[in-house]
Amino acid sequence: MNKTTFRISKMDCPSEESLIRLKLAGHPGITSLTFDIPNRRLEVLHTNSAEAIFAELDALNLNTSILERKFVEHNDSLDNPASQAKLLRQVLFINLFFFILELITGLFSRSLGLMADSLDMLADSFVYGLALLAVGGSMLKKNRIAAISGYFQLCLALLGLFEVLRRFAGNSESPNYTTMIAISIFALIGNSVCLFLLQKSKSSEAHMKASMIFTSNDVIVNAGVILAGILVYLTESRFPDLIIGGIVFVFVLQGAVRILKLSTT
């Protein structure tokens, strides 16, 4: 694996970073881009020649030069393919477990909030699975993986919002608030562990950033379902569960939009 460090004198804001990511997205052989905007440096891990990458960057007229070139036999950072794959397998297992748990308990407790969160967990499981396919691939492949996960989450959000409207119009029973609160606290702990592991990786690649966005949303969702359970208990009404369920799917929708934007940068 080759590691080349470029100095890009005119790279002084995120817009230049986005421009560079777009320029290199289809370049074969690139596995990682690490930006240091304050110092105007870009570190590239790649399998092809540095000159080919330099030619792409030089075409942007940002005053690019090569600072350092070296061969890296083993990349020990958490951004290397082996570490990424291990991390993604861990969070994939956690999310699949909570998808099954929340779906079953959501159905038995009649809680839309729990069922919404279970579908969000399922979406995350697909995201982590897709991200596993992207590990070690080109930047273009990784951006495509992020786009697929974004569209998948968008579909789930729209289906969920439709279910919220259907239940508001019907006469569904109040959910079991005890189950809602207990399971959501358990899920909150699981998602917090996932978020810690993903943030620890400090990856700047699109497929890993997408995973962090999904998991950040999950932590907020879990807190919302806990609140819904408390409100169901206090009001003896089904509406807090429906309202929180609707809000959950809005968060899912916002996450999808963020990921779709990320996949184009």
The label of the residue with tokens 């690490």 reads 34
113 and 33 both lie in a single domain: no
| 206 within a domain of the structure (yes/no) | yes
pLDDT score at 231 = 92
158 phi and psi, to 5 degrees?
-65, -40
CB-based burial label for 188 (10 Å; 0-12, 13-18, 19+): buried
Listed residue (134, 131, 137) closest to 30, CA to CA: 137
| 222 within a domain of the structure (yes/no) | yes
Q: In 10 A of CB 260, how many CB atoms?
A: 17
Q: What percent of the chain has pLDDT over 70?
A: 75
Angle (deg, nearest 10), helices 206-235 and 81-109? 20
Of 15, 45, 71, the one marking the end of a domain is 71
92 and 126 both lie in a single domain: yes
85 and 211 both lie in a single domain: yes
- 30-36 and 41-46 beta bridge pairing: antiparallel
| Cα separation, 223 vs 58, whole angstroms | 48
Give the Å distances, CA to CA, from 134 to 28, 49, 73, 81, 141. 14, 22, 21, 9, 6
DSSP code of residue 135: T
Listed residue (120, 141, 145, 119) closest to 130, CA to CA: 145
31 and 88 both lie in a single domain: no
Highest mean pLDDT among 6-20, 104-118, 134-148: 104-118
Task: Give the global pTM.
Answer: 0.57
218 and 91 both lie in a single domain: yes
32 and 101 both lie in a single domain: no
| 139 within a domain of the structure (yes/no) | yes
| 119 within a domain of the structure (yes/no) | yes
59 and 95 both lie in a single domain: no
Look at 76 and 226; give whichever has higher pLDDT.
226
Lowest-confidence pick of 117-131, 144-158, 173-187: 117-131
Of 51, 71, 91, the one marking the end of a domain is 71
* Strand ranges of the sheet holding 30-36, from the earlier edge strand across to the other edge: 30-36, 41-46, 2-8, 64-71
98 and 229 both lie in a single domain: yes
Lowest-confidence pick of 19-33, 125-139, 222-236: 125-139
Counting the structural domains of the chain, the total is 2
152 and 247 both lie in a single domain: yes
15 and 56 both lie in a single domain: yes
The kind and range of the H/E element at 31 are strand 30-36
Of 24, 39, 71, the one marking the end of a domain is 71
CB-based burial label for 164 (10 Å; 0-12, 13-18, 19+): buried
> CA triplet 151, 170, 248: central angle to 5 degrees?
35
What CATH code is carried by the domain that includes residue 46?
Answer: 3.30.70.100
pLDDT score at 78 = 46
What CATH code is carried by the domain that includes residue 168?
Answer: 1.20.1510
- Please count the CA atoms within 13 angstroms of the CA of 102 that sit on its side-chain side: 33
| 107 within a domain of the structure (yes/no) | yes
**Structural domain boundaries enclosing 254:** 81-262
| 15 within a domain of the structure (yes/no) | yes
| 76 within a domain of the structure (yes/no) | no
SS3 264: coil
Whether residue 153 has pLDDT greater than 60: yes
pLDDT, tens only, 218-237: 788 888 889 999 999 998 88
207 and 252 both lie in a single domain: yes
103 and 145 both lie in a single domain: yes
Whether residue 76 has pLDDT greater than 50: no
